[in-house]
């Protein structure tokens, strides 16, 4: 029996574990450290996702056949390099390749070299130069901390005055520590957003079905950005033309540019795009699956997820064809009151069983922990309640029927996840 280790503890990892558990190969699945949800279908081991030494010793001792790394931090810290040096099969990019997410200045440089459409940007590592540059601008700008900031490093500023305050906080006050020592100041662009996931191995690129997330905390996509308050798949704005453009003008050139730079990418390349009036433009690359898009995308995967990961790791990706459910999915994130700021944990969650009984519904756990006989909240984003439906409107209705059965103190969620797809398609399935 194959033994697979999934590293991480979020909704993304629960969705990956659930996908692996459905594999006809019936692997033994282990999750480190996992959450209450992964614990019901896999073995949870108490090793943190950033404890690379602990994970490596565990994988060797327990003779793990394949490790899949969920979060960006261990990837940027070189978990894949360490595993490979010990001949452990692992899905994910090396530390050098993970810089495509871990260093936004590097990502911008490569996009420039490869002529990839993206917002115009300047990189600064001195506060005075950033300040002088922003003072010459007349419109809004976007300020991005160059380093990893757990989704909190991007500031969309309506005017230069606001941007000046942000760079002062990042570069002088060091509000995000080392992550904000270097900043990217970017032209503010407008349009609907799209997330594209591609499994990459060498020069082979396999694009998965599309998704769109709702990053903003408030309904109507208002308020501060979060890690993501919900997602749906497929994204109607990802037309065949858009997908062909992204593959030709973005994915192929970035993969080539990384290889030429000695940072060949393997693993999951996430491309965040904005469809501007001037065509699709890249907002960011991530070196791992998105969360909560993964919950929405993998809920629709009908082919073997384990086979896909193994093919990528073994250089056989071109032999793989993925199959997707024609049914769209909607994933609603239930969060703790106060997220993305301070929030309480340890609140009992009720109704999980009743929600999961509903047809087409999967409840993916994120910040949850098993309490004595019940499940408690343990993070900002608590659950990703996901449903398939005949149309986006149907999937949305099913997801909210499940959400209505679940309760915990201070549960916060948006009531409108998927509305963009419903307005675009009138609720049609594609
Ligand atoms: P990122 O993590 O770089 O994708 O940025 C987070 C969010 O900030 C994106 O999903 C966009 O909503 C917004 N954003 C990032 N860059 C820009 C930009 N150049 N113009 C307008 N909005 C942006
Ligand atoms: N949902 C956005 C991300 O995973 O970065």
How far is 11 from 379, CA to CA, in rounded Å?
11
Q: Where in the chain are all domains bearing CATH 3.40.50.20?
A: 3-94
- Look at residue 290 in the predicted model and tell me its pLDDT: 96
Interval 199-221 mean pLDDT: 94
Quick one: which atom of ligand 2 is closest to the CA of 151? 5
Distance 283 CA to ligand 1 centre (A): 6
Q: Thinking of the domain 329-425, which architecture would CATH place it in?
A: Alpha-Beta Complex (3.90)
Q: Where in the chain are all domains bearing CATH 3.30.1490?
A: 126-181
The H or E element spanning position 385 is: strand 381-388
For 299-333, the pLDDT digits (tens) are 999 999 999 999 999 999 999 999 999 999 999 99
Reported CATH class of domain 3-94: alpha beta
Q: Which residues line ligand 1 (CB under 6 A)?
A: 119, 142, 144, 154, 156, 186-189, 193, 215, 225, 272, 283-284
DSSP state of 16: H
Whether 291 is in the pocket of ligand 2, judged by its Cβ within 6 Å, is yes
What's the Cα-to-Cα distance from 405 to each of 63, 80, 216, 243, 361, rounded to whole Å? 41, 40, 24, 37, 12
Interval 3-12 mean pLDDT: 98
For 359-408, the pLDDT digits (tens) are 999 999 999 999 788 999 999 999 999 999 999 999 999 999 999 999 99
Distance 288 CA to ligand 2 centre (A): 9
How far is 230 from 292, CA to CA, in rounded Å?
6
From the CA of 141, the nearest ligand is 1
Residues in a beta bridge with 364: 384
Of 420, 412, 372, 379, whose CA–CA distance to 396 is shortest? 420
Burial class (CB in 10 A: 0-12, 13-18, 19+), 90: buried
Residue nearest to atom 2 of ligand 2 (CA): 290
Long-range contact pairs involving 303-309 (C-beta distance under 8 Å, separation at least 24): 304/23, 304/24, 304/25, 305/16, 305/19, 305/20, 305/22, 305/23, 306/2, 306/4, 306/20, 306/23, 306/25, 306/27, 306/66, 307/23, 307/25, 308/199, 308/206, 309/4, 309/20, 309/66, 309/68, 309/91
How far is 167 from 157, CA to CA, in rounded Å?
11
For 165-199, the pLDDT digits (tens) are 999 999 999 989 989 899 999 999 999 999 999 99
Q: Where in the chain are all domains bearing CATH 3.30.470.20?
A: 193-319
From the CA of 143, the nearest ligand is 1
How far is 73 from 149, CA to CA, in rounded Å?
10
CATH topology of domain 193-319: D-amino Acid Aminotransferase; Chain A, domain 1 (3.30.470)
Q: Where in the chain are all domains bearing CATH 3.90.600.10?
A: 329-425
| Whether CATH 3.30.1490 fits 126-181 | yes
């Amino acid at each position: 029996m194959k033994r697979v280790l999934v590293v991480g503890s979020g909704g993304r990892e629960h969705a990956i574990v659930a996908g692996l558990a459905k594999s006809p190969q019936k692997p033994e699945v282990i999750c480190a450290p996992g959450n209450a949800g992964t614990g019901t279908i896999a073995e949870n081991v108490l090793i943190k996702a950033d404890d690379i030494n602990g994970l490596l010793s565990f994988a060797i001792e327990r003779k793990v056949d394949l490790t899949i790394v969920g979060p960006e931090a261990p990837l940027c810290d070189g978990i894949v390099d360490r595993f490979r040096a010990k001949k452990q099969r692992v899905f994910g990019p090396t530390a050098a390749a993970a810089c495509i997410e871990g260093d936004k200045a590097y990502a911008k440089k490569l996009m420039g070299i490869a002529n990839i459409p993206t917002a115009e940007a300047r990189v600064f590592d001195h506060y005075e130069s950033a300040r002088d540059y922003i003072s010459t601008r007349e419109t809004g700008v976007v300020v991005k901390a160059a380093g990893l900031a757990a989704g909190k490093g991007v500031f969309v500023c309506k005017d230069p005055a606001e941007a000046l305050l942000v760079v002062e906080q990042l570069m002088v006050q060091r509000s995000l520590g080392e992550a904000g020592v270097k900043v990217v100041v970017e032209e503010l662009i407008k349009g609907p957003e799209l997330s594209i996931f591609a499994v990459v191995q060498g020069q082979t690129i396999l694009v998965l079905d599309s998704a769109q997330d709702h990053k903003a905390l408030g309904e109507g996509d208002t308020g501060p950005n979060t890690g993501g308050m919900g997602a749906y798949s497929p994204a109607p704005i990802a037309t065949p033309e858009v997908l062909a453009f992204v593959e030709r003008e973005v994915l192929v050139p970035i993969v080539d540019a990384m290889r030429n730079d000695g940072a060949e990418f393997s693993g999951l390349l996430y491309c965040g795009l904005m469809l501007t009036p001037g065509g699709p433009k890249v907002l960011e690359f991530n070196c791992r699956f998105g969360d909560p898009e993964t919950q929405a995308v993998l809920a629709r995967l009908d082919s073997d997820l384990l086979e896909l990961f193994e093919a990528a790791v073994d250089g056989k990706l071109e032999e793989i064809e993925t199959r997707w459910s024609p049914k769209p999915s909607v994933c609603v994130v239930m969060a703790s009151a106060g997220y993305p700021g301070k929030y309480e944990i340890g609140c009992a969650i009720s109704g999980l069983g009743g929600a999961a009984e509903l047809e087409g519904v999967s409840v993916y756990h994120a910040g949850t922990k098993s309490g004595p006989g019940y499940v408690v909240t343990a993070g900002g984003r608590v659950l990703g309640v996901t449903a398939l439906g005949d149309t986006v409107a149907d999937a949305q209705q099913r997801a909210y029927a499940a959400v209505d059965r679940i309760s915990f103190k201070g549960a916060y969620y948006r009531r409108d996840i998927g509305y963009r797809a419903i307005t675009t398609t009138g609720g049609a399935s594609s």
